[in-house]
Structure 1
Amino acid sequence: LAGLSRSAFDEKGQRLPKAKCIGIRDAIFEAILDRMYEDPTLIAYGEENRDWGGAFAVYRGLTETLPYHRLFNTPISEGAIVGTAVGYALEGGRVIAELMYCDFMGRAGDEIFNQLSKWQSMSGGLLRMPVVLRVSVGSKYGAQHSQDWSSICAHIPGLKIVFPATPYDAKGLMYSALTGTDPVIFFESQRIYDQPEEFVREGVPVGYYEVPIGEPDIKKPGRDLTILTIGATLYRALEAAHILEEKYGISCELIDARSIVPFNYDRVIESVRKTRKIVLASDACERGSALQTMAAKIAQFAFDELDAPPTVVGSRNWITPPDELEDAFFPYPSDILDAVHEHIIPLKDYAPARPCDVADLMQRSRLGL
């Protein structure tokens, strides 16, 4: 990593190829490697963690650094992966456990939702649960390997939920997760593991720093419309923001949630008071999503400041299709433009890419779609 740029841009401001830059996977690796040297109780394990640099190369280089009892492979048994992490943490250790795909969380439902989340509270604060559960959110792999279940986790009290979308935030949030005593579900999108840092001018710092869990971040200032994103949709929202500004003169303020639980609304409400309009976007299915909770809270906290209803753009409420049909399922820049046009600001001479007016949304709801 020493020879890679820590920013997406060179000294002249020109964008560099991704292969020449520190990506999200590299930023996570740096934080984990550092804490492995600092905390002798820290261990990491999951399916294929010690082989090939991990399933998605986040652990590339760790095998040569750590003995087997601190980085090792597990059977294909998600319940055992999380259950043993809970047990090791209760005995005073610190764990980074990994589930290869978000979709496999169902195999560890009790361990995550009833054990990992509750032991600190049930012990009256006598026990600690310093577990980071890394969860990779797929795409291109169809119904059982491409689901974003962050909203399910957000519904369970006792868990902290983060979903970084930039290398700077990924490294800083991992440091925060590994120095706290609460269980953290650390979502990572396979779409953007190689994404370099393009929002922090100086790039990803070499040393230690923390990004506070629960604090959203303004990635792009604007005046007319707020866009709040979770996870990898940050980059599609940025593309939509550029189109809105260049073609329609609408200045967009782009905010990355970074965390889902806890979540400080101050920065978002301050933005809404300025723009008086907000769109929220993520790859999770729209129905029952964390974004719907956020939209309801924003409407409650800033009702008198809004000129239009908070509008959620998520994935369709049906089974994730195979790769060749993903454009019809996940939200893309055109979907954000459609939502803006239909529900917030009519765009001159704009033709929606696909229906999303009130009548269409009500029909989808009647059909359970």
Structure 2
Amino acid sequence: MSAAQQERRAATYAGAGRSGSADPPLPADLFGDGRPDRALRVVHALASARLRWSALTHRRAPVTAVYADRLPLIVARREQVADDVVALTLRAPDGGALPRWHPGAHLDLELPSGRLRQYSLCGDPDDRHAYRIAVRRIDTGGGGSREIHESLTAGSALIARGPRNAFPFAVPGFGSPAHRLCFVAGGIGITPILPMLRRADRLGADWSLVYTGRAPESLPFRTELARFGDRVRIRTDDRDGRPDATELLPGLGSGTAVYCCGPTGLTDTVLAATRPLPGVEVHVERFGPAPVENGVPFELELARTGEILAVPADRSALDVLLEARPDRLYSCRQGFCRTCVTRVLAGEPDHRDGALTPAERAAGEILPCVSRADGGRLVLDV
């Protein structure tokens, strides 16, 4: 630094001190002089040009942004795929690319009413510009399926969270030691299974599907399944009677991976048949809560009103809570979506979920859809 530059810097700092400023202003640039020499100006210009060129040549097509895990979507198409089942094709409002997903994944959908519901993705994971879900109308319960059937049309707006995957698929030779795949689907349980079939077929895996339901007209996507020929067996209760494990799991043996999705009765039958067998992988997703195991009666106290609710040994705390407070939020009823999370103010919970962290449990949170108390009473912030 030259003597003249040093004098200018000293004068600047001295002036700042006389003005009473707590911190002196920064010099005009990092060199202490607003006029760097000509060589530095040339280097700076070349570097700036290089950065602009690199930014232009490395641009990528934009992916729809997910802010705080909330993804805006619109209904691009609505299609009736069975007597009481509609399929919705969902796209980004700007038509942009959507987050990737893998077979078995689902979306958490925020419906216009504020309800939060989970729906399996049943489209093509390689299609980055569309999601597809299918929803069976159920007139009992929380009303989510009724809202979709009665209110959502092409152009309707939704908010999604995810995709998430609680039912991941591993192809033999690509993450699974099995050499054969056995798929079992009950009714609307075909939705997470359908992308698995496509993936297995593209990779040349040995697989078969047993697809069961009340009647042919109640089974969605039968036309899509027809292209797989005799790999798929469709059986219905009105024609074939209720299936047993032998019909659902033909040729089951060591080295088989079973993927089953459907109502609790179906999944329980598959689990009972496969658990004793060595060398058999079993992957299950239920459409409905699992039965309570090793339950004991306990009580819920609603702290804001003082009400006392009795929870029997064979019912969940959420079931009992909904009778008293039908407006409580819930969705999966299986302990993974976290929608029904509730704070415990007193009592010792018996945590049976797989979603809450140790810190959340220590803070008093509980999922009443599956968790309980070992007798006694839980005081809830309700």
The TM-score bracket by the shorter chain reads 0.3 to 0.5
Q: TM-score, normalised by structure 2?
A: 0.32
Q: Which has the higher helix share?
A: 1
Query: Radius of gyration: which is bigger?
Result: 2
Higher relative contact order (CA 8 A, sep 6+): 1
Q: TM-score, normalised by structure 1?
A: 0.33
